[in-house]
Amino acid sequence: MRHLLLACAATLALSLPAKAENVTVAVTAIVEHPALDAVRDGVKETLEAAGYKDGENLKFLYESAQGNPATAAQIARQFVGEDPTVIVPISTPSAQAVVSATKDIPVVFTAVSDPLGAQLVTDMDKPGGNVTGLSDMSPVAEHLALIKEILPEAKTIGYLYNSGEANSVSLLAVLKAEAEKAGLTVVESAATKSAEVQGAARALVGRADAIYIPTDNTIISALEGAVAVAEEAKLPLFTADTDSVSRGAIAALGFNYKDVGKQTGDIVVRILKGEQPGDIAVKVAAGTDLVVNKGAATKMGVTLPEAVVGRATRVID
């Protein structure tokens, strides 16, 4: 009987999920804005769903660089000194800072458009070393198709970006190639800090038929300045960031960044359970949402086609 009880106990123990060990996950972003905040929250939700609960068996750290690359580097060094189990940098500048700061601690970057161009990894399928992550490379061809569907007469696209942000520079090259195929011309206007965004937007008035903003953290953090210019000049403004539509953009075709965070969290959990980051392929985030803002369109002198409104994931009045 004793042997039977021991055998039953052993079987029960094997059937129960293993209790998650105590871990520290350190998260940092270049700036705080809705999309990056949603990524952070998605990571945390996935960790909790996997049994890692903040304040119990998880120490969840978060720091924002407030848009300053030097601060991002300082946060990276601080986190490395604290020796967390995994570091999760959100955005290209934060990822570059963290990857430069450690070759030992597992790093799972996220919301990075071009991991190869940013020199975070040399191979997407077999990254090797201590780094892997998730790319949010924008579907630029689809963005241009959407702009042309809403503005059939558009010939020139104004690209508003931070020339110092690697992902935005990479996207500019993609945009130019795709624009040529679509019979469009691209004009650029750069802002290297949030205080310059409104002026950079104003520089596109009279030079472009529409403004297109990529997933650029500097520009999106000061989006309201660009929106004010677009409304005043009746210059339609589009973004690659769906969270920006509620802040005044006409439309965006992009990712649900809470889902991006959850997909990132899945990779973090794999590492917490014993996989090596270098053995995990860098993934491109799945899923796109179409969000439109009727009120913003009216303010910028645009009537949204019913076909666009009809297939939108979310419509803001």
Give me the pLDDT at residue 300, please.
Answer: 98
Percent of the chain at pLDDT exceeding 70: 94
Average pLDDT, the chain: 93
- What crossing angle do the helices spanning 92-101 and 69-82 adopt, rounded to 10°? 40
pTM listed for this prediction: 0.75
Per-residue exposure over 246-262, b if at least 16 CB sit within 10 Å of its own CB, e if not: ebbbbbbbbbbbbbbbb
* Per-residue model confidence as pLDDT tens digits over 260-295: 999 999 999 999 999 999 999 999 998 789 999 999
Mean pLDDT of 203-212: 98
Give me the pLDDT at residue 75, please.
Answer: 98
Give me the pLDDT at residue 166, please.
Answer: 84
* Per-residue model confidence as pLDDT tens digits over 223-241: 999 999 999 999 999 999 9
Whether 53 contacts 9, CB under 8 Å:
no
CA distance 144 to 156: 11
Q: Greater confidence, 100 or 34? A: 100
Residue 250 has pLDDT above 90, yes or no: yes
Whether 289 contacts 253, CB under 8 Å:
yes
Residue 255 has pLDDT above 90, yes or no: no
Give me the pLDDT at residue 286, please.
Answer: 84
* Per-residue model confidence as pLDDT tens digits over 160-201: 999 998 889 989 999 999 999 999 999 999 999 999 999 999
Q: How many residues does the chain have?
A: 317
Give me the pLDDT at residue 19, please.
Answer: 54
Burial tier of 274 (Cβ tally within 10 Å: 0-12, 13-18, 19+): exposed
